[in-house]
Amino acid sequence: MDVLRITIDFDQSHLFFPRIVGWVLAALLAIALVARRREIACALGGVRAACGEARRSFDFLRFGGTVALLVAYAVAMDRLSDVWPNTGLSFLVCSVAFMAALSTLYLRERTPKALALAALLAAGGPLVVWYALARLFHLTLP
Amino acid sequence: MDLLVSVTPLMVALVAVGVTIGIVFGAIPGMTATMAVAVCLPMTYGLDLDTSLALLLGLYVGGISGGLVPAILINIPGTPSSITTTFDGHPMAKRGEGERALKIGIVASLCGGLFSAVVLFFFAPALADLAIKFSYVEKFLIILFALTIIASLSKRLINGAVSGVLGIWLSLVGTYDLNTGGNGDIRLVPGFLEDWLVNGFSLLPVLIGLFGLTVILEEAAKGVPPEPVASFKLGGGTPFRFSVFRGHAGTVTRASAIGTFVGLLPGIGGSAASVLAYVQQKNLSKHPERLGTGEPEGVMASEAANNGLTGGALIPLVSLGIPGDSTTAVMIGAFTLQGLQLGPLFIGEHLEAWHTIMFNLVLANLVMFAVMFFAIRWVVKVIQVPKYLLYPTILMMCAVGAFSANSGIMFDVWTFFLFGLFGYFGHKVGLESAPFIIGFILGKDAEVYFVKSLESYGSLSIFFTKSPIAVGLWVLIALSLGYAFYQAWRNLGREAAS
C-alpha cells in the first residue's frame, strides 16, 4: 500500500494547500521561537532598558504624523471623490494638503526658504501628476 | 535587425528618463532600484508593454548604478549592492581621486551590464526551451528550489524561511480560482472583508507598500535624518584614464560573470554579488593587502558585479517566471498589468517583447554610462536633494499608484498602507522583504502545480519519481538546504566564540 497516496476532495480543495502552508508556517514559527529563545529571554529581561533606549531614538512625532496623515489622506480622498466623481480633483486637492503637511512635518529647520520650496512642490507636484495621469493618460484618479 | 524593428523615439526617451530617475533613487542612501521601479509603476499604466519596459529597465539599471555615487563620495552605499564599492572607492575619494573612482565604477558598471545582457540573450531562450518540457511536478519543484535558495541566503535562515512561507500564505487569500482548476470557494478571509478580498491582495499595492512606504516609515521613525552635507572633493588627484583598466580585463569579466550568476539565483540581492566578487578579487589579486586602501581593482570588481546582476536576474524572470531579485519581482507587476504571463512560453509567444527587453537593457546601460560619465559633476549633487521634498512626493506617487493599479479601487490604497506598516513592523521582528515578496508572487502558482500534480498522479511519491529532472531538482534543493544549515551552524559557532 502506498502510504504517500493522497486523494483531494474537490469541495474542500480550496483549503488543501493553505492548510499545508499554515502547518509549515506554524512549525517554522515554533522553530524560530525555540532557536531564538535566548535572545527572546534576554530581550524580555532587558525590555525596560531596551524600550527606554528605543523610545529615546524613536521619533514619535514624525512616525505617528506620517501614519496619521496617510490615513487622513486616504479617507479624505475617498470622501471627496463622491463630491467630484471621476475628475481626479479629489486627488489633486488632497495631495496638495497632504504634501504640504508632510513636508512641514519632515522639515528640521523651518526657514522661510525651505517652507517656500515645500509649498511650491506641494502645489506643483500634484498638479503635474494629476495632469499627466488624468488628462494625458486618462487614468482613473480619486 | 529584428531587435530594432519596434524601437520608437518615445521608447528611447523613456529609457533616458528611467535611467535618470533611477540614478537619483540609487544615489540617495536608503532608496533603492526596487523602490524606484515600485514608485514609478503608475507611470506605466497608460503605456503599452514596450514603452513600459523601456521606462522600467531604465529605472532598474539607473537605480543599481546610482548607488556608487554616495558609496565613493561619502562612504555610504546608496544601494545595498554598492557596499563593497565603499571599501576602495571612498579611500580614493579621500585622497582627491573621487572623480577617477566614480568613472572607474561607471565604466565597470557598463561592462557588467553589457556582459549580463549578452548572457541573458543566449541563456534565457535555452533555459526556456528546457523549462517548456517541465510538467506541474517539475514546475512545483523549481518554485520549491527558488524558495529554499532565498531562505538559505537570508540574513538568518529561519527568518528567511518564515518570511517566504508567510508570503505564500498571504498570496492564497481570496478565491481558489476556477480558471486554474480551483473550486471557486473563498478561503482565509474574515466574513466582513469578503467583498474586498474576493480576489485576494492585489500584487501592485503590496509591492508599493512594502518597498515604498516601509522605507519612508523607517526613515520617519529615525526622525528623517538630514541629507549628508559633508563636503566632498571630486578631482585634484590622479585624473581618470581608460588605461587604468589595462591588465584588469580578467577582473571585470570575472566580476561580471559572478554578478550574472548570482542574479540568476532567485531572490538574491546585488550585495551578495558584489561581496562575492570582491572576496574573489582579494583572493586572486597580485596585491591583496592593498585592497581596501583605495585600489581601482576593488571598485571595478564591486561595480561590474552589481551591474552584472541586472541581466542575470532577468533570466529566471523571463524563462521561468521566477524573479531573480526584488526589483524584477516588482517588474512582474508591469507584465501583469499588460496581461502577460512570464514563463517558458514567453519568449516564443512574445518575440517582439523579448527583443524590446534586450534592446532596452543594452540601451539603458549605454545611457547610464553617458549620463553618469559625462555629467558626473551634476549627478553627485543628487546626494543632497532634501528628503522633506522627496518623501512626500514619493508617498503621493505610491498612493496614486496603488489606487490606479486596478483602475481605481480605494481598498488598494488601504492594502498599500497595510503592507507598508507590515513591512515596517516585520523588519523589526526579523522578517525579510525579498523572501516574503517572492513567496507572495509564487504562492498561487505553487498551489496550482502542487494540487494538480497530486490530482493527476494521486501520490506524493510522484514528486520524487516523475523524471530525472525532478531528481536533479531534489539534489539542488538538498544542496541548497545543506549549505543553509552549514552557514547557520558556522554562525552559531562564531556567536558562541564571541
Per-residue pLDDT band at B2 (split at 50, 70, 90): low
Per-residue pLDDT band at A51 (split at 50, 70, 90): low
Contacts 24+ apart (CB under 8 A), B74-80: B74/B228, B74/B230, B74/B232, B74/B383, B76/B29, B76/B228, B77/B29, B78/B26, B78/B27, B78/B28, B78/B29, B78/B31, B79/B26, B79/B32, B79/B33, B79/B270, B79/B306, B80/B32, B80/B269, B80/B270, B80/B271
Q: What is the three-state SS of B304-321? A: HHHHHHHHHHHHHHHHHC
Note the ipTM here.
0.90
Q: How far is B156 from chain A (nearest CA, A)?
A: 10
| Contacts (Cβ under 8 Å, ≥6 apart) of B476 | B145
| Contacts (Cβ under 8 Å, ≥6 apart) of B100 | B92, B235, B237, B238, B239, B240, B244, B296
Read off the C-alpha cell for B446.
Answer: 505553487
- Judging contacts by C-beta atoms under 8 Å, the chain B residues touching residue A56 are none
Cross-strand partners of A5:
B459
Q: Please tell me if residue B217 touches chain A, with a CB cutoff of 8 Å.
A: yes
| Between B213 and B324, residue with greater pLDDT | B213
Q: Please tell me if residue B457 touches chain A, with a CB cutoff of 8 Å.
A: no
Per-residue pLDDT band at B268 (split at 50, 70, 90): low
pLDDT at residue B8 greater than cutoff 60: yes
Per-residue pLDDT band at B145 (split at 50, 70, 90): confident
For chain B, what is the mean pLDDT? 86
Relative orientation angle of helices A60-83 and B410-428, to the nearest 10 degrees: 170
pLDDT of residue A72: 97
Per-residue pLDDT band at B397 (split at 50, 70, 90): confident
- Which residue in the set B42, B185, B450 is minimally distant from A133, CB to CB? B42
Residue spans of the domains in chain A: they are 13-57, 60-136
Per-residue pLDDT band at B115 (split at 50, 70, 90): very high
- Judging contacts by C-beta atoms under 8 Å, the chain A residues touching residue B398 are none
Distance in angstroms (rounded) separating the CA atoms of residues B470 and A87: 54
- Which residue in the set A6, A65, A139 is minimally distant from B460, CB to CB? A6
- Counting residues of chain A whose pLDDT is more than 70, the rounded percentage is 87
pLDDT of residue B498: 65
Residue type, B220: A
Look at the block and give the residue holding cell 546601460. Answer: B365
pLDDT at residue B128 greater than cutoff 70: yes
Distance in angstroms (rounded) separating the CA atoms of residues B440 and B164: 7
pLDDT of residue B382: 78
pLDDT of residue B13: 92
**Nearest-Cα residue of chain A relative to residue B174:** A14
- Judging contacts by C-beta atoms under 8 Å, the chain A residues touching residue B162 are 25, 28-29, 32
Residue spans of the domains in chain B: they are 2-137+198-421
**Nearest-Cα residue of chain A relative to residue B175:** A14
pLDDT of residue B119: 94
- Counting residues of chain B whose pLDDT is more than 70, the rounded percentage is 95
Relative orientation angle of helices B9-27 and B351-374, to the nearest 10 degrees: 50
pLDDT of residue B380: 81
Q: Taking chain B, what is the end-to-end CA distance rounded to the nearest angstrom?
A: 60
Residue B401's nearest CA partner among B213, B210, B205, B206 is B205
CB contact under 8 A, B165 and A118: no
Look at the block and give the residue holding cell 496619521. Answer: A68
